[in-house]
């Protein structure tokens, strides 16, 4: 279960309209029946009238409606300013070490940084920085940089310390890794919530919503399937993906061209290949999909393979529906499936995240 900060800390945050806590918690006002982001600029409620929730979904299920002023169901597409500055600093100098003292000098509470990075990146701030350094080290080794230079250049005081950290991450010593690949992870904001994307040298191999319960299992499957480490980072495929996703959600792009890498069993491969043949704006039933791959009557197996798809949106499993046109299942949630189908049909998507009913809440682009 997701944890939230202490009540006193949350009170201070919403009373100061601190956007740094947006997404960390939501506050609901019992006297009005409305819930807000911490950064909401509306009149501040009395503390005794406030209830706190870890997610907008929890607030909806508790019977509160979203604030029309701060629109807590909308995605602003950017991390808080302090986190954005840290990410920019890490991108500019991925080999640098930032201690808790360094964070305090920048006006950032280390505990807040830890919580934010755990929530959005699945690891603490220090773990994120360490993984970036090691990913950068692997790229340098591939380019033929001497090991001593790689170790010292990435902030390690000794070759042995660097070697131990490298082996723990990549499963092999740096001297035997000049041809070793890894999966680079990046995080992308979208109108449907944050996405985690993964890419290797061949192409995109992961695109999932960060709140999915299966995400850890997907990471484990990736490690097993590709036999390599997963570290934060970016490459050309991820940069292309970000541009194409923006065009897709803007309604200006109908076909993705970024390379994909999705190995699986022969049956999974046939299902995933056929998913890519479903046209933009169209749908297909599980029964029809089974016939298309030459396995009539195997709709259950097709549905299972559909659920094992690791690359959402690009391999459009959201275009598969039950016989008769009902939505069926979707790992990212039925409200997201409806949103994607409506987007591709050029229709307004009205689908409430909490109740699963249409006509209540409009996800905002």
Residues designated as active site = 36, 317
Question: In the structure encoding, which two tokens stand for residue 361, read together?
Answer: 């809440």
Question: In the structure encoding, which two tokens stand for residue 159, read together?
Answer: 């070759």
Q: How far is CA 286 from CA 9, 30, 53, 296, in A?
A: 49, 44, 37, 10
Q: What is the 3-state secondary structure (H, E, C) of the chain?
A: CCCCCCHHHHHHHHHCCCHHHECCEEEEECCCCEEECCCCCCCCCCHHHEEEECCHHHHHHCCCEECCCCCCCCCCCCCCHHHHHHHHHHHHCCCCCCCHHHHHHCCCCHHHHHHHHHHHHCCCHHHHHHHHHHHHHHHHHHCCCCHHHHHHHCCCCCHHHHHHHHHHHHCCCHHHCCCCCCEEEEEECCCCCCEEEEECCCCEEEEEECCCCCHHHHHHHHHHHHCCCEEECCCHHHHHHHHHHHHHHHCCCCCCCCCECCCCCHHHHHHHHHHCCCCCCCCEEHHHHHHHCCCCCCHHHHHHHHHCCCECCCCCHHHEECCCCCCCCCCCCHHHHHHHHHHHHCCCCCECCCCCCECCCCCCC
Burial of 364 (0-12, 13-18, 19+ CB in 10 A): exposed
Evaluate whether 31 touches 328 at the Cβ level (below 8 Å).
Answer: no
Query: Which residues on adjacent β-strands are paired with residue 51?
Result: 28
Match 């076909």 to its residue by tokens: 255
């Amino acid at each position: 279960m997701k944890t939230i900060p202490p009540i006193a800390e949350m009170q201070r945050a919403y009373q100061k309209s601190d956007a740094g806590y947006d997404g960390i918690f939501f506050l609901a006002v019992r006297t009005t029946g409305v819930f807000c982001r911490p950064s909401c600029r509306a009149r501040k409620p009395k503390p005794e009238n406030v209830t706190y929730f870890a997610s907008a979904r929890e607030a909806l299920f508790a019977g509160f409606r979203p604030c029309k002023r701060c629109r807590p169901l909308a995605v602003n597409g950017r991390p808080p300013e302090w986190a954005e500055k840290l990410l920019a600093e890490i991108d500019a100098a991925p080999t640098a070490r930032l201690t808790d003292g360094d964070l305090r000098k920048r006006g950032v509470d280390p505990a807040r940084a830890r919580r934010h990075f755990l929530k959005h990146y699945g690891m603490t701030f220090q773990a994120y920085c360490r993984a970036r350094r090691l990913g950068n080290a692997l790229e340098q080794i591939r380019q033929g940089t001497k090991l001593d230079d790689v170790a010292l250049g990435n902030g390690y005081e000794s070759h042995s310390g660097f070697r131990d950290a490298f082996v723990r991450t990549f499963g092999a010593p740096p001297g035997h890794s000049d041809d070793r690949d890894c999966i680079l992870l990046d995080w992308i904001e979208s109108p449907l919530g944050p996405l985690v994307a993964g890419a290797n040298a061949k192409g995109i191999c992961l695109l999932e919503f960060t709140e999915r319960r299966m995400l850890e299992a997907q990471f484990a499957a990736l490690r097993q399937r590709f036999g390599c480490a997963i570290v934060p980072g970016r490459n050309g495929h991820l940069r292309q993906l970000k541009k194409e996703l923006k065009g897709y959600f803007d309604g200006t792009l109908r076909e993705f061209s970024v390379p994909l890498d999705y190995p699986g069993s022969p049956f999974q491969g046939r299902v995933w290949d056929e998913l890519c043949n479903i046209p933009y704006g169209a749908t297909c039933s599980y029964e029809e999909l089974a016939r298309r791959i030459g396995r009539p009557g195997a709709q259950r197996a097709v549905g299972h393979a559909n659920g094992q798809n690791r690359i959402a949106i690009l391999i459009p499993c959201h275009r598969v529906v039950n016989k008769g046109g009902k939505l069926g299942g979707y790992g990212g949630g039925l409200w997201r499936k409806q949103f994607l189908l409506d987007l591709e049909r050029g229709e307004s998507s009205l689908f409430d995240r909490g109740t699963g009913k249409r006509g209540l809440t409009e996800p905002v682009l």
